[in-house]
Amino acid sequence: MSIIKDFLFQLTLVVIPIFIYYTFITEKVKSQKNKNIIMTILWGISIIFCMSFPVNFGDNSRLELRIIPLLLGTLYGGFWPGIFLSVIIILFRLSFGISIGFYNTVLVLLTSLPFILFFQRSFSLSKKDKRVKIAVGLSLFYCLSGLTIFCILRGFSYDFFKIQMVHLFLAVVVTWLFTILIEKIREIHQLRLEVQNTEKLRVISELTSVFAHEIRNPMQVTRGFLQLLNEPDLPKVKKEYIKISIDELDRANEIIEDFLSVGKPSINNIAKIEVGYQIERVVNIIRSYSLNHNVEIRTDIQDNCWIFANPQKLNQSLINILKNAVESMPTGGRVWVSCTATDDGFIKIIIKDQGIGMTKKQIDRLGSPFYSLKEKGTGLGMMVSFQIIHSFKGKIKVNSEKDKGTEVIILLPQIN
């Protein structure tokens, strides 16, 4: 009984970092790197506590649930947190002296850590259900290798085997529960951020629609008069000034356009549309712009890809993305646009360029208002595109590599 009690105490030690992190840290700390460092330290403390209050049995044998902080810390943190936590385990075990138990610890780590690190990448790319499976599988593997190495080093004993089984059972069940718990908390957190974002956008949209109409009228009037001033016998330099003024007014108008479409879900004008047809149209619209930039656009379109959407909005988002693709290649190049139906009921549009690409940090900032690295950029194009795709219950993902190119993948629910 006391063994179970000891294991339950270990559980408390493992759950505390999770709650500290998600209650106090995620909201306060902004940089992902700092968050990672803090989380790793919390898991490290959890490991030290687990190892300080182990479940003792037999002659100098001990078991703890340290696998859980090690596993969750590595899976959610990555390579270096994994190495750091393993070093903590080894150093802390070493402080008890070099014994058979120490060798046991090192051997178990040497066999299981490579596997954990190997699966970490696919864990970070997977969805919730698969993550739970990976975590449980790795936990099971760790316990089994622990059990095998224990038996090899110290021989088999039925009593110890029973305790090892309790450990295995608890470790696996707790890994399962905690991974689900962390996933759930992350999901709620994400949802909250999204709600906050939508709320911000709603306010922006209300404010701008009021301003926009007021500003547009005088702008249109000015533009009209500028055009009237533009007589054929005007000196060249004055003509140039007029052209610049008109261009700038048009640019301001474009910004207002973008603003106006922010925050307005496209409930109206939703229709059944064929994505391929819309892509052809968009490519035609942007063709002269792309030729000016020495960019060739190639399409690969599957017929009969139907979705429910507002065609103007869809086109607007595609144009924004295509324009970025063209602008990312200052010396020209090629853009590929493809559209296919996936097996799981989505229409997948891929827009790929060979441009300057983005770093991970830049990708993360993509879609935030006014984030632009261009001299004349507005930083609204991607924000609007993200919003439009989400309003059609679609998903948008950006893969990019600096100096190699960018790939924007849009998934939209297919209808038949």
The footprint of Mg ion (CB under 5 A) covers: 324, 381
The one-letter amino acid at 270: I
Instruction: Report in angstroms how near the CB of residue 370 gets to ligand ADP at its nearest.
Output: 9
User: Looking up tokens 């989505």, which residue turns up?
Assistant: 346
- Pick the piece of the chain touching ligand ADP (CB under 6 A) from 154-162, 225-233, 304-312, 351-359: 351-359
Q: Which does 69 bind (CB under 5 to 8 A by kind): Mg ion, ligand ADP, none?
A: none
Q: Using alpha carbons only, give the angle 183, 185, 190 rounded to the nearest 5 degrees.
A: 90
From CA 106, how far away is CA 339, in angstroms rounded? Answer: 51
Q: In the complex, what is the shortest distance from the CB of residue 148 to ligand ADP, in angstroms, rounded to a whole number?
A: 50
CB closer to ligand ADP, 71 vs 325: 325
146 is a site residue for ligand ADP (CB under 6 A): no
Least distance to ligand ADP from the beta carbon of 287, Å?
18
Q: Is the separation of the CB atoms in 112 and 89 below 8 Å?
A: no
- Nearer to ligand ADP by Cβ, of 143 and 319: the residue is 319
Residue of 46, 105, 317, 324 that binds ligand ADP (CB under 6 A): 324
Choose the contact partner of 307 out of Mg ion, ligand ADP, none; CB within 5 to 8 A by kind: none
Name which position in 381, 396, 411, 414 contacts ligand ADP (CB under 6 A).
381
What is the residue type of 137? G
Per rule CB under 6 A, is residue 55 in the interface with ligand ADP? no
CB of 402 to Mg ion, least distance (A): 18
- Contact between 139 and ligand ADP (CB under 6 A)? no
**Residue 114 binds what, of Mg ion, ligand ADP, none (CB under 5 to 8 Å, by partner type)?**
none
Distances (CA, A) of 345 to 41, 156, 306, 396: 42, 53, 11, 15
CA atoms within 13 A on the CB side of 238: 10
Check residue 290 for interaction with ligand ADP (CB under 6 A): no
User: Should residue 261 be labelled a site residue for ligand ADP when binding is judged by CB under 6 A?
Assistant: no
341 backbone dihedrals φ, ψ, rounded to 5°: -95, 135
Among 356, 390, 395, 399, binds ligand ADP (CB under 6 A): 356
Site string for ligand ADP, 147-186 (x = CB under 6 A): ----------------------------------------
Residue 406 binding: pick among ligand ADP, Mg ion, none (C-beta 5-8 Å cut-off by kind): ligand ADP
Least gap, CB of 277 to ligand ADP (angstroms): 24
- For residue 54, the partner it binds in ligand ADP, Mg ion, none, with Cβ less than 5 to 8 A by kind, is none
Instruction: Indicate the residue among 164 and 205 with the shorter CB distance to ligand ADP.
Output: 205
Site membership for ligand ADP, residue 325 (CB under 6 A): yes
User: Does residue 368 bind ligand ADP (CB under 6 A)?
Assistant: no
Contact residues toward ligand ADP (CB under 6 A) are 320, 324-325, 328, 353, 355-358, 366, 371-374, 377-383, 406
